[in-house]
Amino acid sequence: MDLAQAAWMVRDLGQPVSSVDLEDDSVIAGGWNGLLKKWNGDGDLMWSVQCSDRIEAILRIEDRVIVTSGLHIHCIKSGEIEWTNPLEGSADMLAYHGNEIIATSSVYDIEHCDFMESAVWKFSLEGIMISVERMDERPWFIDASDKLVLGLGRPRCGLLVDGVHKELGIESPVTCGTASVDGIFLGHADGTISSLSGEIMDKTESSVDSIVPIDGGLIAALECGKLVSRSLKNGENWSVAGLQIATHTIGFDNLHWCSRWDSLSGLVEIRDNLGKLIVSAKMSRPRVSDSSGNRISIGFDDGQVIVWERELFQRRLNSKSIGQSAINSTLAAKLRSLRK
DSSP letter assigned to residue 255: -
pLDDT value for 321: 45
213: amino acid identity, one letter: P
pLDDT value for 112: 62
Q: Domain segments of the chain: what residues?
A: 9-339
DSSP letter assigned to residue 331: H
Q: Would you say 185 and 211 are in contact if contact means Cβ atoms under 8 Å apart?
A: yes
pLDDT tens digits for the chain (340 residues)?
A: 789 889 999 999 999 999 999 998 999 999 999 999 999 999 999 999 999 999 999 999 999 999 999 999 999 999 999 999 999 999 999 999 999 999 999 998 776 667 779 999 999 999 999 999 999 999 999 999 999 999 999 999 999 999 999 999 999 999 999 999 999 999 999 999 999 999 999 999 999 999 999 999 999 999 999 999 999 998 899 999 999 999 999 999 999 999 999 888 899 999 999 999 999 999 999 999 999 999 999 999 999 999 999 999 999 998 844 444 444 455 445 444 544 4
Give the span between the Cα atoms of 96 and 263, in whole angstroms. Answer: 36
Q: Would you say 188 and 180 are in contact if contact means Cβ atoms under 8 Å apart?
A: no
User: Exposed, middle or buried by CB within 10 Å (0-12, 13-18, 19+), for 216?
Assistant: middle
pLDDT value for 325: 46
DSSP state string for 100-124: EEEEEEEEEETTTTEEEEEEEEEE-
DSSP state string for 177-212: EEEETTEEEEEETTSEEEETT--EEEE-SS-EEEEE
The arrangement of secondary structure in 9-339, i.e. its CATH architecture, is 7 Propeller (2.130)
Q: Would you say 210 and 176 are in contact if contact means Cβ atoms under 8 Å apart?
A: yes
pLDDT value for 111: 67
231: amino acid identity, one letter: S
pLDDT value for 340: 42
- Residues comprising the chain, all counted: 340
DSSP letter assigned to residue 194: E
Pairing verdict, β 26-31 and 35-40: antiparallel
Report the SS3 class of residue 275. Answer: coil
Please report how many Cα atoms fall inside a 13 Å half-sphere around the Cα of residue 211, on the Cβ side.
32
User: Strand order of the sheet with strand 183-188?
Assistant: 174-180, 183-188, 192-195, 200-203
pLDDT value for 254: 95
Give the span between the Cα atoms of 43 and 11, in whole angstroms. Answer: 8
